[in-house]
A and B are shown apart, each in its own frame.
Chain A
Amino acid sequence: MTRTLLPLVYGSAAFVFIYLPVAALVLFSFQDGTLPVPPFEGPSLRWYADVLADDDLTAALLNSLGVALLSASVAVTLGFTAAYGLARHRLPGTALLRALLIAPLTVSYLIVGLGLLIVLQRIGIGLSLWTAGIGHVVINLPLCFAIIYASMGAQNVNAERAARDLGAREAQVVLLVTVPMLAPAILAAFFLSITLSWDEFIIAFLLTRFDVTLPVEIWSMLRSGLSPRLNAIGSLVFLVSVTAVILLELVVFRRRS
């Protein structure tokens, strides 16, 4: 009895906890009043219309998408080449190099952002989406490296050796054998990087200038006052992200397993 009842009760409670803020967020995004607090005054789409007509938000959304895609691509590429170099070639001090590449993972985003801000200001490089993107690569590179490095098992070595024995040059081996075999890890690293960059606030806040990413724009809205607009934009971001996640799950990962 307790064997099934307890897990059921615990699981349900956990899911209530996990979905509570999302439910409140989405419910009050349909608020037909100017305040997103109880009582709920009945469904209305006015805040969605309001948010969709806001050019700054749309621009911020596109900026976020661009920064996320570009920084994730760079992070995955660098992470992959480093993992390949360290796993397939004999380098002195491999443990130290691994530690160096992983190090940013153990540092708070605030510190990464603050350090970069100080250096960029000193050498006179203006802040922009590019500088925020550099910061995002710094935080995502260790994750990409770790994930891909961990998946570089021995079975791949044999396939690579076979290809080399058949006369393939190293570039061909990497592109035609290693990358396809490691595709699940590479994709996982890529999508994780996109997710983290898409939602990152403090680095983007410190390192952007006129064009900002979505979390920074939302932060500005949040400072300007209580409004169901925040609920609407939050719900929209959730809807878009979740759709992407489910599509990925169905199209990319389900097919492989």
Chain B
Amino acid sequence: MTSKTAFCLLGSTALATLGSAAAAQDELNALVWCDHTDPALIEPFEEAHDVTVNLREYEGTGAALATLEQSRPGDWDVLVIDGIDVFRAIDAGILAPLPADELPTDDFFPEVVMEDNNSRDGEIYAVTEKFGYNTISYNSEAVDEADMQSLSTVWSEKYDGRISIYDYYLPVMGIAALAEGIDTAAIDADALGPIGDTLSAMRGRAASVAGVVAAQTALATGEVDIVVGGGEWLTAVLAEEQPALTWTIPEEGAVRWTQSIGVLADSEKPDLALEFVKYIVSPEGQARLATSSCFWGMPANAGAGEFLDDDQKARLRWDDQEDYLAATQLYPAPDTDLDIEMQDLWLNTLQQ
């Protein structure tokens, strides 16, 4: 490359960067999970409102809260956050109240409206947008399906070394609690004893503790037959080619994950941000979010059903949701101290 072309390239990149900063009046900045980065979801909103939506993915609530607390007013407009962590964002004072009457929560699956989580002192600060389950994914050709119906037989000796554990402590410890007959909402410091024992037993049988891709690779290549903490979001993409890979909710139940969306108190475009939130929870937005390229999940708004075809609904197991919602509990929502203890217990178990 000659220095001249290099210089031109440099110049154009720099100009593009500066250019995008200059056009700030038409932008919305959102801190999100990866399912929100699908252009099929975002572009219709951008076109309808003639704006650019800037998206940044993040990995942990702590990192997101730190980012938001360090930022200047106007830096961020919209936040997508783990449903169980909404209270942390409210505590930190970073969310703005939402107008309840403009949100279609009446059309939602009632179990996921989660008013207690999303509001405080009568004000709503966030709204649930998507949910699913952390449960048991397995290869139906390699395991006895009856064994998968009870947590007591999932990590039994029969499947020693055939198990992978999903790499996130909250849902997995929630499943461990359910196996011990402890409600996830009742987890306290005392409950960590039996949960730790179960976790240890589970870990002893496991070949790996894997993130999404490693767990999928392990399942698809037959390295393991079971993923504890898996679910539709893990196996659906694999099932297209390997229909034997499936998931179930055992009789003890499983844990339910939810994600919420809200507007930031420091936003300088609260109206546009609210429009975005309304778009995401509208039936059309919900259908697109449910089938986003990063991961699929059930839309909170049952009205999205009209915009999903039969295949998509079958894949989401739309008709089973009533049973599933009844059989599952929200995953643990510890306060700061308990959270530290849970994470320490988890890391200690990994390192054992």
Q: Which residues of A contact B (CB under 8 A)?
A: 33-35, 37-38, 55-56, 62-63, 65-66, 69-70, 73, 121-122, 124, 126, 128-130, 209-211, 220, 222-227, 244
B351 at the interface (CB under 8 A from A): no
Interface residues as binary, B194-226 with A (CB distance below 8 Å gives 1, 0 otherwise): 000000000000000001110011001100000
Could you tell me if B241 and A34 are in contact, using CB atoms closer than 8 angstroms? yes
Could you tell me if B238 and A63 are in contact, using CB atoms closer than 8 angstroms? no
Report the number of A-B residue pairs with Cβ-Cβ less than 8 Å. 79
Not counting A66-B10, A73-B10, A226-B213, a sample of 17 additional A-B residue pairs whose C-beta atoms are within 8 angstroms of each other reads: A34-B241, A38-B221, A66-B9, A69-B13, A70-B10, A70-B13, A128-B17, A129-B17, A130-B17, A210-B29, A210-B56, A223-B34, A223-B211, A223-B213, A224-B294, A226-B217, A226-B220
Q: How far, in Å, is B35 (CB) from chain A's closest CB?
A: 8
Cα–Cα distance between A35 and B1 once the two chains are bound (Å): 37
Could you tell me if B14 and A70 are in contact, using CB atoms closer than 8 angstroms? yes
Please give, as numbers and ranges, the residues of chain A lying within 8 Å of B56 by CB-CB distance: 209-210
Please give, as numbers and ranges, the residues of chain B lying within 8 Å of A211 by CB-CB distance: 17, 20
Could you tell me if B238 and A226 are in contact, using CB atoms closer than 8 angstroms? yes
**Complex partner residue of A225 from B9, B29, B212, CB under 8 angstroms:** B212
Could you tell me if B217 and A37 are in contact, using CB atoms closer than 8 angstroms? yes
Cα–Cα distance between A122 and B26 once the two chains are bound (Å): 28
Please give, as numbers and ranges, the residues of chain A lying within 8 Å of B240 by CB-CB distance: 34
List 22 A-B pairs, Cβ < 8 Å: A35-B238, A35-B242, A38-B221, A55-B39, A66-B13, A66-B17, A69-B6, A70-B10, A70-B13, A73-B10, A121-B66, A121-B70, A126-B71, A129-B17, A210-B29, A210-B56, A222-B213, A223-B212, A223-B213, A224-B293, A224-B294, A226-B220
Measured CB to CB, the nearest residue on chain B to A222 is B213
B310 at the interface (CB under 8 A from A): no
B335 at the interface (CB under 8 A from A): no
Cα–Cα distance between A8 and B255 once the two chains are bound (Å): 57
Q: A55-B39, A56-B37, A210-B56 are in contact. Are A34 and B13 (CB under 8 A)?
A: no
B54 at the interface (CB under 8 A from A): yes
Please give, as numbers and ranges, the residues of chain A lying within 8 Å of B241 by CB-CB distance: 33-35
Q: How far, in Å, is A24 (CB) from chain B's closest CB?
A: 12
Could you tell me if B213 and A225 are in contact, using CB atoms closer than 8 angstroms? yes
Cα–Cα distance between A37 and B245 once the two chains are bound (Å): 15
**Complex partner residue of A62 from B1, B13, B39, CB under 8 angstroms:** B13
B275 at the interface (CB under 8 A from A): no
Q: A35-B238, A37-B217, A210-B54 are in contact. Are A224 and B10 (CB under 8 A)?
A: no
Please give, as numbers and ranges, the residues of chain A lying within 8 Å of B45 by CB-CB distance: none
Cα–Cα distance between A211 and B17 once the two chains are bound (Å): 9
Q: How far, in Å, is A225 (CB) from chain B's closest CB?
A: 5
B72 at the interface (CB under 8 A from A): yes
Could you tell me if B57 and A66 are in contact, using CB atoms closer than 8 angstroms? no
Measured CB to CB, the nearest residue on chain A to B219 is A226
Measured CB to CB, the nearest residue on chain B to A216 is B57
Could you tell me if A65 and B13 are in contact, using CB atoms closer than 8 angstroms? yes
Could you tell me if A224 and B34 are in contact, using CB atoms closer than 8 angstroms? yes
Please give, as numbers and ranges, the residues of chain A lying within 8 Å of B237 by CB-CB distance: 34, 225-227
Cα–Cα distance between A242 and B56 once the two chains are bound (Å): 31
Cα–Cα distance between A235 and B57 once the two chains are bound (Å): 25
Please give, as numbers and ranges, the residues of chain A lying within 8 Å of B216 by CB-CB distance: 225-226
Cα–Cα distance between A220 and B56 once the two chains are bound (Å): 11
Cα–Cα distance between A35 and B9 once the two chains are bound (Å): 36
B55 at the interface (CB under 8 A from A): yes
**Complex partner residue of A65 from B9, B37, B57, CB under 8 angstroms:** B9
Please give, as numbers and ranges, the residues of chain A lying within 8 Å of B221 by CB-CB distance: 37-38
Could you tell me if B9 and A126 are in contact, using CB atoms closer than 8 angstroms? no
Q: How far, in Å, is A197 (CB) from chain B's closest CB?
A: 13
- Interface set, chain B 38-94, CB cutoff 8 A to A: 39, 54-57, 66, 70-72, 75
**Complex partner residue of B212 from A69, A124, A130, A224, CB under 8 angstroms:** A224
Q: How far, in Å, is A174 (CB) from chain B's closest CB?
A: 18
Measured CB to CB, the nearest residue on chain B to A251 is B1
Please give, as numbers and ranges, the residues of chain B lying within 8 Å of A65 by CB-CB distance: 9, 13
Cα–Cα distance between A65 and B237 once the two chains are bound (Å): 32
B295 at the interface (CB under 8 A from A): yes
Q: A223-B211, A225-B212, A225-B213 are in contact. Are A126 and B10 (CB under 8 A)?
A: no
Measured CB to CB, the nearest residue on chain A to B238 is A35
Cα–Cα distance between A33 and B220 once the two chains are bound (Å): 13
Cα–Cα distance between A62 and B17 once the two chains are bound (Å): 11
Smallest CB-CB A-B distances: 3 pairs: A66-B13, A226-B216, A121-B70
Chain B CB within 10 Å — which of A209, A220, A223, A226 has the most?
A226
Please give, as numbers and ranges, the residues of chain B lying within 8 Å of A38 by CB-CB distance: 221
Please give, as numbers and ranges, the residues of chain A lying within 8 Å of B211 by CB-CB distance: 223
- Interface set, chain B 173-200, CB cutoff 8 A to A: none
Q: How far, in Å, is A215 (CB) from chain B's closest CB?
A: 14
Q: How far, in Å, is A187 (CB) from chain B's closest CB?
A: 11
Chain B CB within 10 Å — which of A62, A63, A126, A224 has the most?
A224
Cα–Cα distance between A128 and B240 once the two chains are bound (Å): 39
- Interface set, chain B 231-252, CB cutoff 8 A to A: 237-238, 240-242
Q: How far, in Å, is B276 (CB) from chain A's closest CB?
A: 15
Q: How far, in Å, is A244 (CB) from chain B's closest CB?
A: 8
Please give, as numbers and ranges, the residues of chain B lying within 8 Å of A70 by CB-CB distance: 10, 13-14
Please give, as numbers and ranges, the residues of chain B lying within 8 Å of A227 by CB-CB distance: 237
Q: How far, in Å, is A165 (CB) from chain B's closest CB?
A: 31
Please give, as numbers and ranges, the residues of chain A lying within 8 Å of B72 by CB-CB distance: 124, 126
Cα–Cα distance between A55 and B37 once the two chains are bound (Å): 12
Please give, as numbers and ranges, the residues of chain B lying within 8 Å of A129 by CB-CB distance: 17
Cα–Cα distance between A99 and B286 once the two chains are bound (Å): 57
